[in-house]
Amino acid sequence: MSTFLSGTASDSATLDALPLFPLHTVLFPDGRLPLRVFEKRYVDMVRNCMRDHLPFGVCLIATGEEVAQPGQTTEPESIGCLAEIVDCNVEQLGVLLIETRGRQRFRVLSHATRDDGLLVANVELLPPDVIDCKLELLGECLAALRRIVTSLHTDQPDKPKLPFGEPYLWDDPSWVVNRLCELLPVPLKAKQMLMELPDAGVRIEIVHRYMRQHHIV
């Protein structure tokens, strides 16, 4: 079976034929995304990615549905995030439970649907965030995130429901604001817009303004 990727995230600015998993969710770098995979096209994709130690791409659905519908196409947003499979279990025959972690963001240059229904894309890998943030705003965002994490650990000590895992990178502005983006109850289109921003400082300002308006900071 052919490999989906012609390059790797570490040695090339582009990836060819990256398999895409369009979802009604936004994956951020270093975010945690558990998935229950049951459609054959995605089960095969997961198996191939695990065999070849390659990521797949997660994109928010712009139009269409997660599960294939006759005569309907699914269009992804143009900016997504690479997903690395970190764990995989078989729930039952033909159903996989996988744990993924967000890695590098990418821009879709072109995409096509294969005969088996899998969406594949040629993508450009995007650089890490520009870090130019106001320390006062960052400090208040960090304090808010610490309170949220502490509260969730207190309420659910055995298995807190967090969309991210350890290690907690408290000294990384991008990591802090991305975790708040995941946790705050904002629409998916707003999360997508925040994920697309190239500057962590701008993301922090927007998130801080939202939290102040809602009396979180």
pTM: 0.89
**How is domain 135-213 classified at the architecture level of CATH?**
Orthogonal Bundle (1.10)
Mean pLDDT of 117-133: 94
Mean pLDDT of 206-217: 94
In this prediction, residue 5 carries a pLDDT of 43
Whether the pLDDT of residue 80 is over 70: the answer is yes
Q: What percent of the chain has pLDDT over 70?
A: 90
Measure the CA–CA gap between 63 and 38, rounded to whole angstroms: 21
Whether the pLDDT of residue 191 is over 80: the answer is yes
The tens digit of pLDDT for each residue in 37-62 reads 999 999 999 999 999 999 999 999 99
In this prediction, residue 68 carries a pLDDT of 66
User: Which residues of the chain form CATH 2.30.130.40?
Assistant: 14-125
In this prediction, residue 159 carries a pLDDT of 67
User: Which residues of the chain form CATH 1.10.4060.10?
Assistant: 135-213
Measure the CA–CA gap between 15 and 13, rounded to whole angstroms: 7
**What one-character-per-residue DSSP string does 92-104 give?**
ETTEEEEEEEEEE
In this prediction, residue 39 carries a pLDDT of 93
Identify the CATH number of the domain defined by range 14-125. 2.30.130.40
In this prediction, residue 29 carries a pLDDT of 96
Whether the pLDDT of residue 166 is over 80: the answer is yes
Give the model's confidence band at 153: pLDDT under 50 very low, under 70 low, under 90 confident, else very high: confident
The tens digit of pLDDT for each residue in 59-68 reads 999 998 777 6
Whether the pLDDT of residue 7 is over 60: the answer is no
CA-CA-CA-CA torsion for 202, 203, 206, 208, nearest 10 degrees? -110
In this prediction, residue 154 carries a pLDDT of 82
Do 158 and 13 meet the contact criterion of CB atoms below 8 Å apart?
no
In this prediction, residue 111 carries a pLDDT of 95
Do 152 and 161 meet the contact criterion of CB atoms below 8 Å apart?
yes
How far is Cα of residue 57 from the mean position of the Cα atoms in its chain? 8
Whether the pLDDT of residue 19 is over 60: the answer is yes
| Low-confidence winner among 2-16, 18-32, 40-54 (lowest mean pLDDT) | 2-16
The mean pLDDT value of the chain amounts to 90
| Low-confidence winner among 21-30, 61-70, 97-106, 155-164 (lowest mean pLDDT) | 155-164
Length of the chain in residues, anyone? 217
Do 120 and 155 meet the contact criterion of CB atoms below 8 Å apart?
no
Q: Nearest Cα to 173, choosing from 212, 198, 142?
A: 142
Is the peptide bond preceding residue 163 cis, with omega within 30 degrees of 0? no
